[in-house]
Amino acid sequence: MKKIVVVGAVGGGATVAGQIRFYDKDAKITVFDRDSTMSYAACGTPYVIGGVIEDTESLLMADPEQFKEKRNIDVWLEHEVMEINRAEKSVLVKNLKTGECFHEPYDFLILSPGGSAMVPALDGLASTDHFVLRSFGDMERIMSYIEQTQPSSCAVSGAGFIGIEMAENLKNLGLHVQMVHKSSHVMSILDPDISNQVLAELKSNGVVVHTNSVITKADQKELLLSTGQKLHADFLILSTGLKPNTELAEKAGLPIGETGGIITNEFMQTADPSIYALGDASENTDFVTGGAKRVPLASPAHRQAFIAAQHLTGHAIPKTGLLGTSIVKVFALDVAMTGLNERSLIEKGLLYETVLLKGNSNAGYYPDHSEITLKVHFNPETRKILGAQCIGSKGVDKRIDVLATAMYAGLAIEDLQALELCYAPPYSSPKDPINMVGYKAISNQKGTNA
């Protein structure tokens, strides 16, 4: 009987434990997490804060009692794994309530420790009410603060995924929201022309955005920017990046990669074949380039959990690399992406061309349609798709999902014109925007107008 220990009980950890039990009915599975909640939908926390999701408990997918009863898996919350003894194949665990420490043996160890919000060393930060959003407890603290103090304004530092979602949800609560972002473009993962549309949407909804700026000093409700400008904010949300929790792996001598994650092979094994790593703290490979890539999102973590569980139970299914497919809601707009952006293509010295299509999400004569911008990068020699972005109010996810599938399938950009996609006026056009990208690529190759 295998003895399996899992570190981390949120998305990746809880999923891999459940997957292993599905394929191995006899293994002894024990999960440790230093938090007080497990298996919660972290991606939903901004929307609970904003009141879009009214039932806070709906984010809790399971608890230790359910895991024990339904899956015969032992989950110990508020228990932190302090050390890994690879020679003895055991972990040192600390009960955070009592301070008691004990050793837990394992045959296989799975690390899913997640990541921690990066908090800048900001002068005067302690004098300012400030929060990060990385856990269920963080969400509860923000909600409690808003309920008790009834603030009228907030500053959000960082305009990435969480920063954008928090800005929208705090604005929906009626707060005056200002964003501070060190780059010249919000959502720096996007190409500048797509990012500019996100910026315009933020501004049109009353969010004040300060780009090319960082907060250099905090003095209670006054924030000083690197530009010399001063902002007033009742509280501050820090969304300036994520640091993978690799300390445990580092102390155990497991190699850390160039992205800061624990290096894994195609089966999510670390340099120690009896130890796997997945989720935010694991380093994987880029589907397009084959280089190192780390994608701290829920979907890759769930896929990695499946791969690790399959391999551990004798069914080897190698991972195929990461595209970083993702989407975010920005008030009335949706923006999604997959693969490489222009900056990455240039930095890696890759040859590329771009098809830019502006059209409608569905039939223009149908009352409910949206203008969308679809941007697709491809290799002009191999014709393989390298990356794509899409923005609009409808049908954005559909287009990027099709393109991500096309990339995994190895389709050439011209092949997009041949895809038989569903059509009715409320949903698309006889020639979907995806088809039109393929037609346009053919026209451009022939030197004619699309």
Q: Is the pLDDT of residue 445 over 80?
A: no
Does residue 128 share a domain with residue 94?
no
42 within 8 A of 135, measured Cβ to Cβ: yes
Q: What is the average per-residue pLDDT within 336-358?
A: 97
For residue 354, name the pLDDT band (cuts at 50, 70, 90).
very high
* 441 burial level (CB within 10 Å; 0-12, 13-18, 19+): buried
Helix 298-312 and helix 11-23, axial crossing angle in degrees, nearest 10? 30
Q: Please indicate, yes or no, if residue 325 is contained in any of the structural domains.
A: no
Does residue 105 share a domain with residue 160?
no
Chain centroid offset of residue 69 CA: 31
Does residue 160 share a domain with residue 101?
no
Does residue 79 share a domain with residue 49?
yes
201 within 8 A of 146, measured Cβ to Cβ: no
**Tens of pLDDT along 158-199?**
999 999 999 999 999 999 999 999 999 999 999 999 999 999
Q: Is the pLDDT of residue 450 over 60?
A: no
Single out the catalytic residue among 43, 101, 390, 422.
43
The yes-or-no answer on residue 154 being catalytic is: no
Position 280 scores a pLDDT of: 95
Q: What is the average per-residue pLDDT within 84-98?
A: 98
Does residue 338 share a domain with residue 279?
no
Say which DSSP state 384 is in: B
For residue 447, name the pLDDT band (cuts at 50, 70, 90).
low
- The last residue of one of the domains, among 203, 221, 240, is 240
Q: What is the average per-residue pLDDT within 146-169?
A: 97
Q: What is the average per-residue pLDDT within 213-236?
A: 97
Q: Facing residues of 262 across strands?
A: 256, 282
| Cα–Cα distance, 80 to 30 (Å, whole number) | 13
Helix 192-204 and helix 161-172, axial crossing angle in degrees, nearest 10? 20
For residue 411, name the pLDDT band (cuts at 50, 70, 90).
very high
Does residue 304 share a domain with residue 441?
no
Q: Is the pLDDT of residue 55 over 90?
A: yes
Does residue 211 share a domain with residue 192?
yes
Q: What is the DSSP string of 69-104?
A: HHH--EEEETEEEEEEETTTTEEEEEETTT--EEEE
Does residue 339 share a domain with residue 260?
no
Does residue 139 share a domain with residue 232?
yes
Does residue 235 share a domain with residue 255?
no
CB atoms within 10 A of CB 449: 7
Pairing outcome for strands 262-263 and 282-285 = parallel
Domain assignment of residue 58, given as a range: 3-116+243-312
Q: Residue 269, SS3?
A: strand
- The last residue of one of the domains, among 184, 217, 240, is 240
Tokens for 211?
Answer: 């780009």
Q: Name the pTM for this structure.
A: 0.94
Q: What is the average per-residue pLDDT within 280-304?
A: 95
pLDDT, mean over the chain: 96
Say which DSSP state 136 is in: H
Position 1 scores a pLDDT of: 87
Does residue 250 share a domain with residue 110?
yes
CA dihedral 372, 383, 346, 350 (to 10 degrees): 160
150: left (phi over 0), alpha (psi -120 to 50) or beta: left
Please enumerate, as own/partner, the contacts of 410-416 that have beta carbons within 8 Å and a separation of 24 or more.
Answer: 410/384, 411/384, 411/385, 412/378, 412/382, 412/383, 412/384, 412/385, 413/355, 413/376, 413/378, 413/383, 413/384, 413/385, 413/437, 413/438, 413/441, 414/383, 414/438, 414/441, 414/442, 414/445, 416/441
Q: What is the average per-residue pLDDT within 373-393?
A: 98
Position 448 scores a pLDDT of: 43
Q: Is the pLDDT of residue 105 over 60?
A: yes
206 Cβ contact list (under 8 Å, min separation 6): 171, 176, 177
| Cα–Cα distance, 250 to 248 (Å, whole number) | 5
Q: What is the average per-residue pLDDT within 208-224?
A: 97
- The last residue of one of the domains, among 215, 240, 265, is 240
Q: What are phi and psi of 73, to 5 degrees?
A: -120, 130
Q: Is the pLDDT of residue 321 over 70?
A: yes
CA neighbor of 436 nearest in space, from 420, 417, 418: 417
Angle at 349 between CA 344 and CA 351, to 5 degrees: 95
CATH number, position 441? 3.50.50.60
Q: What is the average per-residue pLDDT within 310-331?
A: 95
**Tens of pLDDT along 357-367?**
999 999 999 99
Position 446 scores a pLDDT of: 65
Q: Is the pLDDT of residue 78 over 90?
A: yes
Q: Residue 30, SS3?
A: strand
Q: What is the average per-residue pLDDT within 391-406?
A: 98
Q: Residue 396, SS3?
A: helix
Does residue 87 share a domain with residue 193?
no
What is the count of structural domains for the chain? 3
> End-to-end alpha-carbon separation of the chain, Å?
63
Position 449 scores a pLDDT of: 40
Q: What is the DSSP string of 316-369?
A: ------B---EEEEETTEEEEEEE--HHHHHHTT---EEEEEEEESS-TTSSS-
| Cα–Cα distance, 389 to 376 (Å, whole number) | 7
